[in-house]
Structure 1
């Protein structure tokens, strides 16, 4: 069933954090930086203030059809931030790329060599970390029990791990090649997007360029409140799901029938779902019936609540957005448990682990998905710890002053993190930074139609602006378009579509296939964007959180 397949792919991409493929070329011998020491000699300690580092393993790994020969380094930064670093032995050209994590992390996803779009492939040293703890099975990334009584582990995950790993990796690179990297990049999605924004806000000297995809930067309201809202919205009095996965295709098709044409093109996707005002009641089953092509009154109510942002008893928004029309197929697995995941819904697991183990000060009264109250008081109870996770500061002055470049992106059909939060943040950042023109000189946002959380989707399934970021940092070429790709289950390309810097949109030029990016041009928005959301977290943008030195 398609929704199940989508969830499996989404979970895989959450673990991988950023779907960057293997390198496709090799650096010329005369441009590569050769090692100045042996790989095995890296097995030692590195004395870094506040980030004592220990390399426990360093082994040369032979080249394959996709990867170059490299020195594979494993180690940890005290107390327990494990990392893996891959150092090309023949193709390195001075770049360092660090990957972010997904969910609550707890696992090291082997870092892939990336094609940066310049003359050399596999020319970049790459690293990844588990963010300072090991998650338990089965899902690992939704386990929060490790933080119940361990403040050091919390510190690492909240704000410290990505920063200290960048310091450790650069020290090891210098020891291996004789010089630190010329340029450093960070890319991540979901929690990795949060980490990217944290680095720009709190550690502006760590990276020259950052890709922050679908950022979970409103962390405590997102995980503690919004995911709880999703779980509760679809839980009946008997504890069973109200809306089932079998109903999602009919719901999605009804949304497309009502709204696909609103962007001027009937192409199976919504270019801006905010223009879609679909009412699930149009699918109400006839009295006494319950089939896959209609919704019971209870299911209509659940769907309406899922589309709506969480609110308190006075109607105050507790998160700046709800599920967007067009995301319905991806609700399977995330909001609705499916057999392939043991009946577990990822949103419920994530929220419950956060409320039980991570969301409140150690020793303070905790909560659960089933006991959480949607009140301003409970929202505020999450804030003291939440500001340590959040990446909501609008002051990126130092990152900008140092020449840093930031690429934000988000899928319009993201079922895990509403895209309206990223739009809200970017408009606030734009205002804080002097307007759109000034902001786009160093920070740009790309909104991808039909894309689910961090990848997969109904028509477009892949988006990766890393090459454009590298060109911006190293050539001064600001990204004016990034191409999104759609693939079928066999991997064949089914659609390409240009994505222009927000608020520009892609307009069909009137000829040729709608599945070919070449047949679209940039167009201004139908109306000036008004993306501010007034919500309970309005005061959080001025709270930067702690900084690890």
Structure 2
């Protein structure tokens, strides 16, 4: 079914709805220890302090007006586009696993958006935090350690009400593309996953919070990474009044291009026509070592690349003499695979179909993502499942289950066809956040610079598009970007990946304190919070919250190896020349003499006006158009 011209002012799509089934909820809890934060302004010296200071306004503790069980008697069925039922409401006592007592509320927002809402019974201070969900979601697991918030006191002391939903469907095989055929044939579930679920649940969560405490939250925040980052941007772009401020990590916001083109393409580059592997995973360590030797920044005094965009590594420097393969070199065929990985997906005419390729320094994380583990084939790599799931199911209104994933798909025409089909409901690429800014909103975005799942180039390009659209001064008034050297997707990697940006966001929104340096810590001995599986958009992995829950059990014994300050982009840092090189206090900020040009030429663009809004008619059909119903 053709959706019509890409730029028509209005178009209508009629699709017969199919029945859906509500499944059981999955919940999780993770508690992680405090880490460091910093309140140094950009350009000033950095002082290491603990995260235990005051954060935000001194809001009073608000006690419930009704009992937890009384919520079962409340009627939330008349909420606008968010008819809600409460299935259970029970008190969870403070214990070794729970830092504070809370009322645990579970239920459904119609038609089948499952949710969990944790309402503190003795410590609530008028704040609500909604947590994003990674991959294709399909599960609920509120975390006591949201993304990029290690040691954030309003989270750890129970000041926040916390909530999360499953984006309207239940996953049957982790977060990858393998379960897409179960839910992505239903148009309403596509829309709920695309843009509706987070707004509908926010409406429901505020109504339930008001019923419990007698008033809606004074401040509402959103925190998400990966697809959770896409959800964050979707909220501030489409529903600018839902949240007071938002924290967006490594967003899959350019989802159509990411899933249909970039991820699908990467899953093909390491395989010959007969299915055999070209570049074995055993070569990745050698490749990574060569990249670091060329591009690691001596100003950091460790093996990290501070800005991969300035790296000039050429994989041909590792080419085997006379093309004779060995463990210490790359034959021409393997050099070609590495070049393709760094370049990202391109059409036959050389047009980029996504904003960038694999960042230099990410090589060690390619194994299992698009380079298979020893003895495994193409179907085992994570990006194969997510790419094929999107191409067949998620990215089409009428599924194409027999579609083959091969090189013929990666053309400008195919890319544009998928954009016309679904970008209006999935993509969160609108650079005009004027309404969010006018509403008083604050936005902090962050990305790991060695993220192999969602390359950080797109985040920089989006920031530039915002500046081009709104102007530098306006963007600076409400937006900051932090880029973390050596950090992979939503955490993990060689770099320091424990930090607290949520406290920075709270202070900025509630007190006007402009965020400066944040202190990032590298730990060892125990699981790192938000590790490489956390929230990634691909593969059959556990949820971000499950990852953090397992991490919490061992992270208490973790040792801080070193700390580094990270300043808002485009500032970098350098060692002062004296003092402990492992201490963030001995590093200073500087702005490069030549700032990078973050414009990027590709087949798409970041503009306004592409969004579609869909509504169900008579319970049988769905109409989608450019104008909000």
Q: 1:171 to 1:318 in 2, by over 3 A?
A: same
The question of 1:53 aligning with 2:92 is answered no
Q: 1:531 matched to which residue of 2? A: 598
CA contact (8 A) 1:26 1:91 kept: no
Cα distance in 2 for residues equivalent to 1:148 and 1:369? 18
1:304 counterpart SS class = helix
Gaps of 5+ in 2: 1-25, 35-50, 527-557, 615-627
Q: 1:407 matched to which residue of 2? A: 444
The question of 1:494 aligning with 2:561 is answered yes
Q: 1:148 to 1:200 in 2, by over 3 A?
A: closer
Cα distance in 2 for residues equivalent to 1:353 and 1:140? 8
- How far is the alpha carbon of 1:297 from its aligned partner? 2.3
Aligned length: 532
Alignment match of 2:492 (pick from 453, 456, 464): 456
Give the alignment's Cα RMSD to 1 decimal. Answer: 2.8
Gaps of 5+ in 1: 1-14
Q: 1:108 matched to which residue of 2? A: 140
CA contact (8 A) 1:406 1:442 kept: yes
- How far is the alpha carbon of 1:188 from its aligned partner? 0.4
Q: 1:218 to 1:171 in 2, by over 3 A?
A: same
Q: 1:386 to 1:339 in 2, by over 3 A?
A: farther
Cα distance in 1 for residues equivalent to 2:449 and 2:418? 27
Cα distance in 2 for residues equivalent to 1:517 and 1:207? 32
Q: 2:211 matched to which residue of 1? A: 175
- How far is the alpha carbon of 1:392 from its aligned partner? 0.6
Q: 1:138 to 1:468 in 2, by over 3 A?
A: closer
CA contact (8 A) 1:505 1:524 kept: yes
Cα distance in 2 for residues equivalent to 1:407 and 1:227? 26
Correspondence list, 1:105-504, <5 A: 105-112=137-144, 116-117=152-153, 121-137=157-173, 143-261=179-297, 264-287=299-322, 289-338=324-373, 344-362=380-398, 367-370=403-406, 372-384=408-420, 385-435=422-472, 437-490=473-526, 491-504=558-571
The question of 1:508 aligning with 2:551 is answered no
Cα distance in 2 for residues equivalent to 1:409 and 1:376? 30
Deviates most, 16-25 or 283-292: 16-25
- How far is the alpha carbon of 1:143 from its aligned partner? 3.0
Cα distance in 1 for residues equivalent to 2:175 and 2:571? 38
Cα distance in 2 for residues equivalent to 1:49 and 1:21? 37
Cα distance in 1 for residues equivalent to 2:606 and 2:250? 22
Alignment match of 2:61 (pick from 7, 25, 32): 32
Q: 1:340 to 1:289 in 2, by over 3 A?
A: closer
Q: 1:351 to 1:372 in 2, by over 3 A?
A: farther
Cα distance in 1 for residues equivalent to 2:318 and 2:589? 36
- How far is the alpha carbon of 1:296 from its aligned partner? 2.7
Q: 1:512 to 1:542 in 2, by over 3 A?
A: farther
Cα distance in 2 for residues equivalent to 1:353 and 1:279? 33
Deviates most, 394-403 or 366-375: 366-375
- How far is the alpha carbon of 1:353 from its aligned partner? 0.7
Cα distance in 2 for residues equivalent to 1:340 and 1:180? 55
Structure 2 length as normaliser, TM-score? 0.79
Q: 1:413 to 1:105 in 2, by over 3 A?
A: same
Deviates most, 284-293 or 496-505: 284-293
Q: 2:105 matched to which residue of 1? A: 73
- How far is the alpha carbon of 1:388 from its aligned partner? 1.0
Q: 1:356 to 1:141 in 2, by over 3 A?
A: closer
Please give the per-residue CA displacement for 1:157-179, whole angstroms capped at 9, x wherever unaligned: 00011111111111110111111
